[in-house]
Structure 1
Amino acid sequence: MSLPNPPDVPTTVHSHITDAIRAPSLIRLSDNVVLLRFETLKIYAALGAVRALLADGTIRPGDTLVDSSSGIYALALAMVCHRYDLRCHIIASTTVTPTIRAQLEILGATVDQMPAEHDLRLDQNRRVERVRQLLRANPGMHWMRQYHDPVHYLGYAELADLVRAALPDTRLAVVSSVGTGASSGGLVQPLRAHDPATPLVGIQPFGSVSFGSERFQDPEAIIAGIGSAIPFDNVRHNLYDQIHWLTFRYAMAGAIGLMRDHAVFAGLSTGAAYLAAAWTARRDPGRTHLVVGADTGHRYVERVFARYREALDPDTLKPMEIDSLDGLAPPWSVMHWRRHPRAQDS
């Protein structure tokens, strides 16, 4: 019996950890589904933004950068600040784990963490108000505004080049959580420069304002990183072709299913995207669907992976197809968004 060739041994010695972890692992999950698995996707946003701001003189080494985050952007920004001799101040969501907080503090970041709060809408609003208080007291700080500043789109052009090099002459579709909008939008725009028809499939939790599901409540939802409790300017609705709304239980089923089927330990947004991509790929077999896996599963161990026995079987799940937001309903709805500019125009 012949054994497969051993994997290539990396030959690059990186000068900083941000270079080592930014490139994803590309893992084929099926004939037309490929996972882009990151340790932390937001390295692209933070690197691209900070480099642009340094280049145009908006910030200088020694300045303090401040922003609000639910976890992975905070860690990415702290790493980039470490690289470029910048100070970092994070207004952390109540959902930021002790593991992430410890890393931030060791990297030299100042961390203000919001008190425990079941209503994550209140958590996001409190974080923004805390940033404003800091800026009033320290006008020399630079607010990164990851939710609103388009500078966070810039770094993903490099990711698009990497994808095209790895999958040459391939018709692609992108399946990603919406979140701040920068990663999904920043990836699909340069891909559309080569194929304008490249679909963008966005993932939302119920309760997010970004695509009109704020009237719903999902008591178990971990909204951070997938949806939004406040409007984000970086969410450009006219980039999205299709939107899936999933409950926590369905996203959990996807995350556990991804681990069982492919041995991939990834976060809740990746699980939701995996579930949606499997359904979408069956209906569009001519395109290779890129599932954006924004982070690993470590911060979801207790809430998701420790409860694996409760997980639904993803093979038994399917969405309700709707024509308008009036038909939106849990646990899983899907709608052809058709690049409408705003939720109320759908």
Structure 2
Amino acid sequence: MPIISSPHEFNVEDLYIDLRRVNNTSLYLKCEGFNFAGSIKLKAAAEMVDAAELDGLIRPGSVLVESSSGNLGIALAIIAADRGYRFVCVTDPRCNSTTQRLMRSLGAEVRVISTQDANLGYLHSRIQYVRELCASSDRYVWLNQYANPNNWRAHYELTAPAIARNFPDLDVLFVGAGTTGTLMGCARYFKERHKPVTIVAVDAVGSVTFGGIPERRVVPGLGTSTRPELVDESCIDDVVHVSETDTIRTCHSLAARGFVFGGSTGTVVSGATRWLGEKYPGEDPVAVAISPDLGERYLTSIYDESWLREHFGQTDLLTDFHWSAHP
């Protein structure tokens, strides 16, 4: 039985859902939300803090600070609570209230930046606030998930090897693109080993990460309004962009089968399903998609009828997904 003394020591690494029964797609979904942070971000948080400690960047009296739309903020709040550090999370209005309350319950300070940047997002404004905060005092330590190589290194060392171990004949890997830490770590792992694996990045419509036209986005998680420094497109074979309405429809269709996931997972599954239908019609490649998070934190947003009506002005996103069991 597992016995741990720190929350980051527990993570379910080898749980996959076979989506053929769920949406008739030959796709295995790697579930990364079963840990105390509820998301894949716990790996990157632990790796970045470990490296900062090793490099002597964190000293007595230091205050960790990071810009996050939610999941990394929770992960860092957990690490900070475990190690006795103060932590300031700089976020924006898209970060749902449940996530903010969870971070505060862990002792973190949450600061919400409501100034939009030129690309109709908040990332540039959040980063600018973090830079000004760090300039005001050397006690602030910015981990900078958008440029920190330890972000992708966590997935190079943990996530990708776990997938390779379970799927030695892997054909396609789908990874959502936020900071691109998970994407870059997995892509580098397979490319450096000359594995014949097609790496497909899944991004949100309105994100500028891969040169897209900036648009308003309200679902936190994947996508950026400022291109992350970690991006290396030479490691990626293809990119799929998913609209937020498709993200939400996919989340609800999964929930109708008993699987409640977060918006990032809905985006990845939607993009992977469409890509496989176009590239492998009638075929069954060995394909894996990474699910970054679970859905409980989104009950007041993407699973809430009033929120959907407020942000999308439509209720057909709440379609009642009925299905019939296999005979």
Give TM class, smaller chain. 0.7 to 0.9
SS at match of 2:111: strand
* Cα 1:85/1:69, change in 2 over 3 Å: same
User: In structure 2, how many angstroms separate the alpha carbons of the residues matched to 1:223 and 1:179?
Assistant: 12
Is the counterpart of residue 165 in structure 1 residue 154 in structure 2?
A: no
Is the counterpart of residue 232 in structure 1 residue 228 in structure 2?
A: yes
Q: Which residue of 2 aligns with 1:19?
A: 9
Q: Which residue of 1 aligns with 2:250?
A: 254
| Runs of 5+ unmatched residues, structure 2 | 309-314, 322-327
Contact 1:21 1:40 in 2 (8 A): no
SS at match of 2:241: strand
Q: Which residue of 2 aligns with 1:182?
A: 181
Q: Which residue of 2 aligns with 1:33?
A: 27
Q: Aligned-pair RMSD on alpha carbons?
A: 2.7
Q: Which of 290, 303, 325 is the matching residue for 1:292?
A: 290
Amino acid at match of 1:20: F
1:223 shift after superposition? 5.4
SS at match of 2:178: coil
* Cα 1:97/1:116, change in 2 over 3 Å: farther
1:303 shift after superposition? 3.2
- 1:27-67 deviations in Å (ceiling 9; x for gaps): 22137411112221111111111112222323246522111
User: In structure 1, how many angstroms separate the alpha carbons of the residues matched to 2:61 and 2:111?
Assistant: 20
User: In structure 2, how many angstroms separate the alpha carbons of the residues matched to 1:188 and 1:213?
Assistant: 21
| Aligned positions of 1:91-106 closer than 5 A | 91-106=90-105
Amino acid at match of 2:247: A
Amino acid at match of 2:78: M
Q: Structure 2-normalised TM-score? A: 0.82
Q: Structure 1-normalised TM-score? A: 0.78
* Cα 1:303/1:223, change in 2 over 3 Å: closer
Is the counterpart of residue 305 in structure 1 residue 303 in structure 2?
A: yes
1:79 shift after superposition? 1.1
Q: Identity percentage over the alignment?
A: 21
User: In structure 2, how many angstroms separate the alpha carbons of the residues matched to 1:152 and 1:110?
Assistant: 22
- 1:212-253 deviations in Å (ceiling 9; x for gaps): 2225x3x5x325321111121012222221111121111112
Contact 1:61 1:85 in 2 (8 A): no
* Cα 1:12/1:61, change in 2 over 3 Å: farther
* Cα 1:58/1:223, change in 2 over 3 Å: same
Contact 1:71 1:93 in 2 (8 A): no
- 1:268-327 deviations in Å (ceiling 9; x for gaps): 2211211222233343446422211111123332432234962388x9xxxxxxxxxxxx
| Aligned positions of 1:186-225 closer than 5 A | 186-215=185-214, 217=215, 219=216, 221-222=217-218, 224-225=220-221
User: In structure 1, how many angstroms separate the alpha carbons of the residues matched to 2:223 and 2:250?
Assistant: 17
SS at match of 1:189: helix
| Aligned positions of 1:105-120 closer than 5 A | 105-115=104-114
Query: How many residue pairs were aligned?
Result: 300
- 1:138-178 deviations in Å (ceiling 9; x for gaps): 123211111122221111121222223333x2224221221
SS at match of 1:154: helix
| Runs of 5+ unmatched residues, structure 1 | 1-10, 316-346
